[in-house]
Each structure stands twice: as C-alpha cells, then as structure tokens.
Amino acid sequence: MFTSILADFCCDSVAHWWQQHVFKEALQKLADRLGLDIRIAHYPPYCSKHNPIEHRLFPHITRACRGVVFHSLAIAKQFMEKAKTTTGLNVTVDILTGVYATGKKCAADFLKTMTILFDDHLPRWNYQAISKEDR
C-alpha cells in the first residue's frame, strides 16, 4: 500500500513539473552547466511495472528499513545503506541539503527560447535538452 502511494506521489510530482515547465527549464540549465545533452525518457503513467529500478532496488531498501522509525536523516541514510543482495547490489545514499523554493515559475520567455527537442515517438515522454555547446 505505501509503495503504491509513494509511486503515485512520484508520478504526480513528475507530471506537475512537466505541466509547469519548471522541470524542463531546470533540465536545460543543467545541460548548459554540464555542457552535455541530456536525454529524458519517462515511463508513462501506470507503466512503472516496466521500470527495472523499482524491481531491482526498491524492494531491498524497503526490506532494510522495515520497522524503522526515521527520527532523523542520518537514521534513514544508515538503514538504506544497509540494503544489499548476494549478487552484489550495494546502495549508496547521499543527502542533498539544499533548500528548494516552492511555487517557482519558469522564465516568461522560456517556452519561446527553450532548446528542448521532442522525439517523434511519444514526444510527451521522450525529449532531449541540448547544451549551449551543441546549439
């Protein structure tokens, strides 16, 4: 039940970013900062069953954290890093300490100036942010 709620939350978050265009603007800035083209391929809603990360990683993290109350980020990090498998999965956890503003809007002219290229196949879900170096 909790995993389903979390999956729904994650999908709703990506959909919200998509609709608000802030995600694409931030993605464009990242591509420019790194000097790399970044290709994005989202799983459409209700298709997470095809996502190998959900099947290969999340069950082990869930098992490692079973019954633990997260009173702090350090406790969450400690237990998530204990997730391992006999076939060699080791989990690395990093905590991002940035403060992220809510209600952020994209620049007024972003949609006119963006260099996001949408694929011919499923363009709502597959696109590429082109870096400044490749424009």
Distance between CA 21 and CA 129 in Å, rounded?
13
Question: How many domains is the chain built from?
Answer: 1
What is the residue range of 109's domain? 2-134
The per-residue pLDDT for range 56-90, each reduced to its tens digit, is 888 889 999 999 999 999 999 999 999 988 888 88
Better-predicted residue by pLDDT, 90 or 49 = 90
Better-predicted residue by pLDDT, 32 or 24 = 32
- At 102 the pLDDT is 81
pLDDT at 1 over 70: no
pLDDT at 27 over 80: yes
Distance between CA 124 and CA 110 in Å, rounded?
17
Measured between alpha carbons, how far apart are the two ends of the chain, in Å? 46
The per-residue pLDDT for range 85-125, each reduced to its tens digit, is 888 888 888 887 888 778 878 888 887 888 888 888 888 88
pLDDT at 3 over 70: no
The per-residue pLDDT for range 37-47, each reduced to its tens digit, is 988 887 777 77
pTM of the predicted model over 0.85: no
CB 93 within 8 A of CB 77: yes
Strands of the chain, DSSP E? 38-41, 116-118, 126-129
